[in-house]
Structure 1
Amino acid sequence: MSDCGCSKARQDLEEYLRNEVCKTQHTDIREHLENCPSCRDEALVATTLTEVVARACKETAPEELRDQVFARLREVQSAQH
């Protein structure tokens, strides 16, 4: 095991979580996270945040709200012309 250290693990955490680091780096960071509660907690926060944002991006606005937004946009556009 080659511990990459907290600073390296945190620096490359986002890429690690997206599987965008080379296999050696991935193994080093994974092993570090297994043995470092602080970095593991940070990885959990990053993973949770990514999942919440992904879910939010899949939601659609209620039809009534969408109609109100489009109506307001049309008002603004017509006032500018």
Structure 2
Amino acid sequence: MTDCGCDKAKRDLEEYLRNEVCSTNSADIREHLEHCASCQEEALLARTLTEAVQRACKETAPEDLKLQVMAKLRAAQATH
């Protein structure tokens, strides 16, 4: 394994966190993250944001809001 450097680690970070890079690149990025505080911070931020988005996508809108949106959509369709 070789240290891939900050540029490559940061460029491929999202794919790495989603397990979408080949095993060689994954190992290189993992090794780099073990030794680079700056990239560790970037990875933590990316993980935190990804988890927050995943949680938000699981939430559902209140029924009242759904009804209001549907009513406005119907009204807009009726005028066009």
> After TM superposition, is the score higher than 0.5?
yes
Smaller-chain TM-score bracket: over 0.9
What SS does the aligned partner of 1:39 have? helix
What whole-Å deviation, never above 9, does each CA across 1:4-61 have from its counterpart, x for those lacking one? 1000101111111111111111111001111101001001111111111111111110
Q: Which runs of 5+ in 1 are unaligned?
A: none
CA RMSD of aligned residues (A): 0.9
Q: Give TM-score, length-normalised by structure 1.
A: 0.93
Q: Give TM-score, length-normalised by structure 2.
A: 0.94
Question: Kindly, what percent of the aligned residue pairs are identical?
Answer: 68
How far the C-alpha of 1:68 sits from its partner, in A, is 0.5
Provide the rounded CA distance (Å) in 1 between the counterparts of 2:77 and 2:22.
50
Q: What count of residue pairs does the alignment treat as equivalent?
A: 80
Q: Which runs of 5+ in 2 are unaligned?
A: none
Q: What is residue 31 of structure 1 aligned with on the other side?
A: 31
